[in-house]
Structure 1
Amino acid sequence: MSSALLAFAALDPRLATECRAMRLVRHERPVRIGIHDFERTGAQRLWFDVDLCVRLAHAPAARDHIGETLDYDFIREVIAELAERQHFELQETLCDAIVARLAAQPGVQAVRVATRKPDVYPDCESVGVERVHLNPW
């Protein structure tokens, strides 16, 4: 697995030295998504990959206690709430909504969200989109 901090550092070196990376990989949820009539009859599997850079001041982990960092449950809850709220036409709009919610969390300096639909084409693993967002320092 590659380093999220080093990837973010290509955008701003402070992300590697002043933040802690948190990662959620291939989180699977059923989502009502798609533009075709057959996609409107039920939910489809979607995979979510999320990387967050959280400022060390907001996630110092100075004590071995959950209050010292950002809880992974928050990431999963944002995805669940948005995925259950409505039918999305596009992965792009769902991905953008997740990015916006995660980026608004205090302490979050950078966000990367990728969504993938694994059941679209038989000749590929998945199709998807990805977004990166940096908050101003």
Structure 2
Amino acid sequence: MLNAEQMRMLPQCFTMVSDPRRAHGIRHRLPVVLGIAAGATLCGMRGYKAISDWADALGQKARERFGCRREKGSYVVPSEFVIRDCLVRIEPDALDRALNAWNAAWGEERRCVGTRWQDHEECH
């Protein structure tokens, strides 16, 4: 389980990752998409569908903490397609650096963040 502060901090770690998508039509900021994907992975989700289902199950307060955009009075999470598209197109080394930064900040509290989205028993 992620606490409120960890939810807020995950997207912040991805602000330096370059967005490979064209600027036209972007509805979800890259740090938000990557933060949600990382949060889902930390909570044991594996695969794009599981990450998307986890995101869909987030309550409005959690969506706000991750920095999701508001649409018609509700916070909206990225779709499975957007999550997959972002994860397959970003620079892996940039993702590793961002995850390592989060791990440096929160690693003592949660020892389950490693490079390349490693599986660790402590996360389950």
TM-score over 0.5 for the pair: no
Higher radius of gyration, 1 or 2: 1
Relative to its length, the structure with more helix (as a share) is 2
- More strand as a share of residues: 1
TM-score, normalised with respect to structure 1: 0.27
RCO higher in 1 or 2 (8 Å CA, sep ≥ 6)? 2
